[in-house]
Amino acid sequence: MSDFHVYDTTLRDGAQQEGLNLSVADKLAIAAYLDELGVGYIEGGWPGANPKDTEFFRQARTALDLRNAKLAAFGSTRRAGAVAADDPQVRALLDAQTDVVTLVAKSHSRHVTEALRTTPEENLAMIQDTVSFLVGEGRSVFLDAEHFFDGYRADAAYALEVVRTAAAAGAEVIALCDTNGGMLPPQVTDVVGEVIAGTQARLGIHCHNDTGCAVANSLAAVEAGASHVQGTINGYGERTGNADLVTVVSNLQLKQGREVVEPERLRQALHLSHAISEVTNVVPYSRQPYVGASAFAHKAGLHASALKVDPDLYQHTDPSLVGNSMRTLVSDMAGRASIELKGKELGYDLTGQPELLGRVVARVKELEQQGWTFDAADASFELLLREEVTGDKLDYFDAESWRIITESGDRSPSLSEATVKLRAAGKRVVATGEGNGPVNALDHALREALTDAYPELATFELIDFRVRILDAAHGTDATTRVLIETSDGKDSWQTLGVAPNIVHASWTALVDSFSYGLLKQGVLPRT
């Protein structure tokens, strides 16, 4: 047994998040990513409780090649009045053929009598019988003491007896669970310290985030002596989620100097966090500590001035340690230092060019006054910056006109048709596109018109479309801001457009999207 355990329960507890539904293939993919991160244990699910988890463990024996982690099967103690060796659910844990089995057991006396509907003495017998049986079958057993902190407040003597019984039966770790997520760090510190003093057992911690303190509570438990920490990637879990294991590990390693995973693996944290988000189909949280897109993003001009001198002045750690990077956001708060840093980030050296910097700052502030927001659209800002640096607007085509017709009936779905007239690569083109809405039709028509001149557009795909109404008090006459995200299958970029008309704003964002994508691929305007 290592000195410290990082135990991931994304595939079981995290999968209980509202709207999250993982297939067996999804779980196998996530397990491989977790192994790359360097966690010590991956809880795969509850074999015997549902067919999907049973199938996961069957396939995992041949489909997974874990280099760092051990797979754990999760289940409960035997039923009241039964014998562990004959209990089908306990047998299913053996059939999963994992080295580690994690059992959940009641540690709150009221839960024992009202939820399990048995006696406190029988609950202890269930723990002792199940743990000792599985240990006798050659399994390492961890025990999750459910509702431990609430149970300890209600009946400390019984909660402690649960820990002692499990440890005496052979459980290698007893994880104290803040199942309702209601604890605060000082309470966790006190309880963990008292339980260690009263039992001498090896303790773990399992926290939920209902008070927003799951990470802090996990760190408090470790500080008090727990040497096994449970959590989920990206904080997935029911209600408000579980402790975010990426944040917990980063804090332990980068702030407290505990090497709980190999440093090179921690440098993959952002990549793996986002890769798992792709599998779960949950959009990454931009403000997630350490690995969020905004975690090291600086907007205020005052910050940028200091960052030019030393990035550490406004950053709590080196973002590269978790695979992230510093970003400078361009907005109406921007000063020359912000623009200079952002230019450097985009590959433009603006050092010693105060006049150019002044022009860009003035233009950004003027556009933001009209509703533009470049901190959400780096691609549009780069096109603006390039135009100011080179003195040349990047025009891949000349648009003569575009129009849209939307047709609908009471019993038929609406259909939009867009016609685009433009000149590209020396030719005049008229193209028509249909779509389920005006922007979709415009996108199709523009692609159709540019296909011959720029076949590279075939790889572009619009993956997100957001609309914000500005000056809402003006009602339907309000200014509209459209933000578009486009992907070429490898990377994605965001562009925006602002206009009184939603379609006009969308046209501007689409044109910038295509222009930036072509520029990124090294394609220049063709005449």
pLDDT band at 131 (very low <50, low <70, confident <90, very high): very high
pLDDT band at 61 (very low <50, low <70, confident <90, very high): very high
Question: Which one has a higher pLDDT value, 307 or 465?
Answer: 465
The SS3 of residue 284 is: coil
What is the rounded distance in angstroms from the CA atom of residue 37 to the CA atom of residue 231? 14
Contact in structure between 268 and 37 (CB atoms under 8 Å) = yes
Tell me which range, 3-7, 291-295, 319-323, is most confidently predicted by mean pLDDT.
3-7
Across residues 256-277, what is the average pLDDT?
A: 89
Best CA proximity match to 134, nearest among 202, 85, 89 = 85
Domains of the chain by residue range = 5-280, 297-390, 398-520
Contact in structure between 199 and 163 (CB atoms under 8 Å) = yes
Question: Which residue has tokens 């860009």?
Answer: 360
CB atoms inside a 10 Å sphere around CB 52: 16
**What's the whole-model pTM score?**
0.69
What does residue 223 show for φ and ψ, rounded to 5 degrees? -60, -30
Contact in structure between 523 and 460 (CB atoms under 8 Å) = no
| Cα–Cα–Cα angle for 365, 367, 370, rounded to 5 degrees | 110
Which of 146-155, 270-279, 453-462 is the least confident region?
Answer: 270-279
Question: Which residue has tokens 């104290």?
Answer: 176
What does residue 502 show for φ and ψ, rounded to 5 degrees? -60, -35
pLDDT band at 2 (very low <50, low <70, confident <90, very high): confident
Residues 6+ apart with CB under 8 A from 166: 105, 127, 128, 131, 143, 145, 174, 201
Which of 70-79, 262-271, 442-451, 469-478 is the least confident region?
Answer: 469-478
What is the rounded distance in angstroms from the CA atom of residue 450 to the CA atom of residue 424? 7
Best CA proximity match to 174, nearest among 136, 138, 200, 139 = 200
Residue 65 vs residues 45, 73, 93: alpha-carbon distances, Å: 18, 17, 20
Which of 101-105, 188-192, 391-395 is the least confident region?
Answer: 391-395
How large a percentage of the chain has pLDDT more than 70? 92
What does the pLDDT read at residue 335? 59
What does the pLDDT read at residue 394? 84
The SS3 of residue 239 is: coil
What is the rounded distance in angstroms from the CA atom of residue 480 to the CA atom of residue 50? 49
Which of 55-64, 72-81, 261-270, 478-487 is the least confident region?
Answer: 478-487
Best CA proximity match to 344, nearest among 332, 357, 355 = 357
What does the pLDDT read at residue 332? 46
Residues in the chain: 527
Class of domain 5-280: alpha beta
What is the rounded distance in angstroms from the CA atom of residue 272 to the CA atom of residue 516? 27
Look at residue 32 and tell me whether its pLDDT is greater than 50.
yes
Contact in structure between 371 and 427 (CB atoms under 8 Å) = no
Bridge partners of 493, per DSSP, are 486
What is the rounded distance in angstroms from the CA atom of residue 49 to the CA atom of residue 45? 9
Longest dimension (CA), the chain: 88
What does residue 147 show for φ and ψ, rounded to 5 degrees? 55, 35
Look at residue 302 and tell me whether its pLDDT is greater than 50.
no
What is the rounded distance in angstroms from the CA atom of residue 74 to the CA atom of residue 159? 21
Over the chain, what is the mean pLDDT? 88
CB atoms inside a 10 Å sphere around CB 470: 14
The SS3 of residue 94 is: helix
Contact in structure between 191 and 174 (CB atoms under 8 Å) = no
The SS3 of residue 496 is: strand
Q: Which two structure tokens, joined as six digits, stand for 6? A: 């990082």
pLDDT band at 85 (very low <50, low <70, confident <90, very high): very high
DSSP states of 462-495:
EEEEEEEEESGGGGGGSEEEEEEEEE-SS-EEEE
What is the rounded distance in angstroms from the CA atom of residue 232 to the CA atom of residue 242? 6
What does the pLDDT read at residue 421? 95
Q: What is the amino acid identity at position 363?
A: R
pLDDT, tens digit, for every residue of 204-254?
999 999 999 999 999 999 999 999 999 999 999 999 999 999 999 999 999
What does the pLDDT read at residue 345? 73
Name the strands in the sheet holding 427-435, side by side, starting at the edge strand that comes first in the sequence.
398-409, 412-424, 427-435
Class of domain 398-520: alpha beta
- Signed CA dihedral, 18, 23, 24, 27: sign only: negative
| Cα–Cα–Cα angle for 227, 231, 232, rounded to 5 degrees | 150
DSSP states of 422-450:
EEETTEEEEEEEEESSHHHHHHHHHHHHH
Contact in structure between 11 and 44 (CB atoms under 8 Å) = yes
The SS3 of residue 525 is: coil
What does the pLDDT read at residue 475? 54
Helix axes 301-309, 336-346, angle to 10 degrees: 60
Question: Which residue has tokens 């002792």?
Answer: 128
What does the pLDDT read at residue 387? 86
What does the pLDDT read at residue 286? 78
What is the distance in angstroms between the CA of the first residue and the CA of the last residue of the chain? 68
